[in-house]
Amino acid sequence: MKTNVLDKLVSLGYSILDNGADPSLGRETRKSVQRLILFIIFGIGVNLVCLLLNYFNGLYVSASLNIICILLLTVSYFLNKDGKLGFAKVLGIVTVNFYLFAISYVEGLRAGEQLYYFPFLLALIFVIDLKKNYQELIMTGVITFITTAMIFILAPYVSTVQNINNDQYSSLSSSNLSLSLIITALFTYYILKALEKNEEKILDEKKFTDTIYDTSLDAVFIVDTTTLLITDCNKSAVEVFGFSNKNEIFGSPAKFLLGEKMEEYILLQGKQSFQKNSPWYGNMDFSRKDDTPFFGYVNVVPFTHSNIIYCKISILDITEIKIAEFEILKAKERAERATKVKSRFLSNMSHELRTPLNAIIGTTNLILQEEYLPSQRQSFDVLKYSSEHMMQLVTDILDFSKIEAGKMELENTPFNLKTFLQKVVSSFTAPITNRNLEFKVDIDEHVDIEIAGDEMRLNQVLNNLLSNAVKFTDQGTITITVKTLHRKSHSSDIYFAISDTGIGIAANKVRQVFESFTQADIETTRKFGGTGLGLAISKKIVEKMGGDLLVRSEVGKGSTFHFTLNFKVNKAQKSYVDEHKLKGLSELDGISILLAEDNPINMMVAKRFLQKWNAEVTEAENGLQAIELFAKRKFDLLLIDLEMPEMDGAQAVAHIRTTNSEIPILAFTAATYENMKDDLLQKGFTDFVPKPFRPEDLHKKILQYCKPAVPVQK
């Protein structure tokens, strides 16, 4: 019955402790908080009992001390609850020591108040962490020792402050003795329960660890690096190595079970210090109890226990994985052999097909250039078209084979994009108009640039798309659209689109048209023919160029195939100048211009025109140099490139504007983007001149912001 009451009291105590501790605290901190709360609660409880006894005995001075102690311990409780554990602990210990000295002094040693030191010292075991905080231990010990000494030195045997008769002394000493024994018993019981709880927790954690250890898929061995004997293993180790129980493995030399190579790794771990070691892992061969070989992935981790270095050896049976890898390698070899045979076959077939096709096409062209009967013209045209069509099919098949084998390499040679597009358009103008279709050409004027790329493959893509547009369009319009989306001095994003008003593609067939040897449906193949390789090859080429060939289509209304590619722009390209427009441009005498440009060819071209107009030109190779030159002398106008080393144009302008907000500054740039002018104005530029520049445009901009020393020629 007593045990049940105590259990309920302890349970109530735990609920109070949990109510006072913040759940977000760490485990150790939370434990310290709970123990201090327990200490404070016992202190308050003892003082409450003593307060009642002293009040009924008429000892009002003692009762006042009880009230003061209760108040101070309450403050300590709330400090602890607010997270101020250190202050709360100091206040609680000092309060108890102060109370014991004061109560012993006002009541005398005969009252037995000093007996409370026994449960007090017992409580300190929980309040102070003896392992971690030696300063607290020393401080508490010093305070307690001094207080105890003061009690027995200064406190009288009987009170000189209050009138206490013999009966009262007898009652006080009995009450204090009984209460101290009860508190000591409660603390002792609490300590035993805490130890029991810790033991259960340790056993539970051990059980949890053993469960993880034994249910691991890895075979785990613990080996003493000194004796090289296996000291422990898990259930998987027994199963993997074919034993019936752990006793067959315990105490066995690691060499006999795990092999000589493993013994070398264990010795290496034992000779070196634990700090210098790093876990070793790799693949090794092992044998089971019945000498059946198997492959294992091994991880050797050193650790120290009781000043002995052990190795934890984890072995994962990867025999099935190794077998699968071997099968994959065999399959890969077979596939590579098949690919080589396929490539050789296609190469031979290409040679065998191209040789007679070349003769047929050549002979047909010769006949068409000589005299022939008018009635033979149609037959010769059919022969020429069929042979050229067959040559294109052979080329498509070989190209697709190269792409599948990953052997298609793209060239990176310079070519003029505008000239290239004019060739593409001219080659399709006649076929489109012959079918009574309208051919719209929407090519941006900014594509008159020299770019680096594979001209032949880009031509192949556009030819495939235009050929499909012609093939699948009976009436309406075919449109080629090329425009610049975003341009910088070193690169440019170009958008390509081929649109038609043909038969269109159903939504559920859109992805299918990009698959090899596939068209939208069987009816399309029967009606229009073709291998279905054109779009598959085009998509692969565009992807290899860094883009993505996409399509928007609607049945009966047509399709639009489009993609965007990024090309490097050749900065050394020629500036196209209309000499007629240059005639009659006025002189720029007296105008001083700071020209900041990092490209020497662009610098030379711009400087040539400016000096031709008699402008005074000062060169700067980067933004930093431009700032230095601007600080040394006065200029009428600044012409600054956006992208330069050391410091770009925007940074240079921002620095210049801190000292001069009026001077006109023109951005000299090849970049193009949305809201470009507004962006440049916000950065401090007055205006901009795009590259490649037209001399008459540059001249006009300079005159707009500067006045020459001589009148402008009309």
Confidence label for 564 from pLDDT (cuts 50, 70 and 90): very high
Residues 191 and 270 occupy one common structural domain: no
Residues 168 and 255 in one domain: no
206 within a domain of the structure (yes/no): no
pLDDT of residue 198 exceeding 60, the answer is yes
Mean pLDDT of 40-67: 82
Kindly state whether residues 41 and 135 are assigned to the same domain.
yes
Q: 665: pLDDT confidence band, cut at 50, 70 and 90? A: very high
Q: Is residue 586 part of a domain?
A: yes
The last residue of one of the domains, among 569, 600, 633, is 569
Do 583 and 629 share a domain, yes or no?
yes
Measured CA distances, 588 to 599, 636, 641, 698, 711 (Å): 24, 11, 21, 12, 9
C-beta of residue 45 within 8 angstroms of C-beta of residue 85? no
3-state helix, strand, coil in the chain (%, to 5): 55, 15, 25
Residue matched to tokens 């409660």:
186
Written as one letter, the residue type at 317 is D
pLDDT, one tens digit per residue, over 597-652 is: 888 877 887 888 888 888 899 999 999 999 999 999 899 999 998 888 888 889 99
276 within 8 A of 290, measured Cβ to Cβ: no
Distances (CA, A) of 586 to 10, 100, 618: 104, 108, 20
> Which of these three, 401, 424, 455, is where a domain ends?
401
Residues 483 and 592 in one domain: no
pLDDT score at 520: 45
Look up the CATH number of the domain holding residue 342: 1.10.287.130
| Burial of residue 382 (number of CB atoms within 10 Å: 0-12, 13-18, 19+) | exposed
Confidence of residue 710 (pLDDT cuts 50, 70, 90): low
- CATH code for position 484: 3.30.565.10
Residues recorded for the chain: 714
557 in the same domain as 504: yes
Which amino acid makes up residue 246?
K
pLDDT of residue 113: 76
Average pLDDT over residues 265-286: 69
Q: Average the pLDDT over each of 123-132, 196-205, 436-445, 662-671 and give the range with the smallest value.
A: 123-132
What is the C-alpha separation between 425 and 156, in angstroms, rounded? Answer: 120
Looking at every residue in the chain, the average pLDDT score rounds to 78
Long-range pairs of 533-536 with CB within 8 A, sequence gap ≥ 24 = 533/396, 533/397, 533/399, 533/400, 534/396, 534/464, 534/467, 534/468, 535/464, 535/468, 535/561, 536/400
User: Structurally, how many domains does the chain consist of?
Assistant: 5
* In 386-520, beta strands by DSSP E: 413-416, 438-443, 450-453, 477-487, 491-500
61 in Cβ contact with 69 (< 8 Å): no
Mean pLDDT of 340-366: 63
Residue 322 lies in a domain: no
- Which percentage of the chain shows pLDDT scores above 70? 77
Q: Which residue has the tokens 């045209």?
A: 381
Query: Do residues 480 and 563 lie in contact, with contact meaning Cβ atoms separated by under 8 Å?
Result: no
Higher pLDDT, 273 or 290: 290
Domain housing 6: 2-199
Q: Which residue has the higher pLDDT, 459 or 387?
A: 459
Residue 349 in this model has a pLDDT that exceeds 60:
yes
Cα–Cα–Cα angle for 348, 351, 353, rounded to 5 degrees: 105
| One domain for residues 235 and 298 | yes
Mean pLDDT, residues 245-264:
83
Alpha carbons within 13 angstroms on the beta-carbon side of residue 79 total 17
For residues 265 and 132, membership in a common domain is answered with no
Q: Tell whether 71 is covered by a domain.
A: yes
My answer on whether 23 and 80 are in the same domain is yes
Sign (positive or negative) of CA dihedral 107, 108, 109, 111: negative
Same domain flag for 249 and 269: yes
Q: How far apart are CA 34 and CA 16, in angstroms?
A: 9
678 domain residue, yes or no: yes
Helix (H, G, I), strand (E, B) or coil at 130: coil
**Is 651 contained in some domain?**
yes
Confidence of residue 274 (pLDDT cuts 50, 70, 90): very low
Question: The sheet that has 665-669: what strands, in order across it?
Answer: 616-620, 592-596, 637-641, 665-669, 687-690
d(CA 318, CA 217): 11
Q: What is the pLDDT of residues 3-13, one digit of tens each?
A: 566 566 656 65
pTM for the structure as a whole: 0.40
What CA–CA distance (Å, rounded) separates 656 from 467?
56
User: Do the domain assignments include residue 182?
Assistant: yes
Of 293, 317, 341, the one marking the end of a domain is 317
Task: Dump pLDDT digits (tens) for 566-608.
Answer: 998 876 544 444 444 445 567 888 899 999 988 887 788 788 8
Residue 412: band (very low, low, confident or very high) from pLDDT cuts 50, 70, 90: confident
- pLDDT at site 578: 46
> Amino acid identity, residue 97?
N
Q: Are residues 554 and 430 in the same domain?
A: yes
In this prediction, residue 363 carries a pLDDT of: 64
The CA distance from 20 to 34, in Å, is 7
Average pLDDT over residues 382-404: 65
Residue 223 to residue 221: CA distance in whole angstroms = 6
pLDDT in the model for residue 299? 85
- 531 located within any domain: yes
Domain with 282 in it: what CATH number? 3.30.450.20
Q: Tell me, yes or no, whether 133 and 27 share the same domain.
A: yes
**E-strand stretches of 133-208:** none
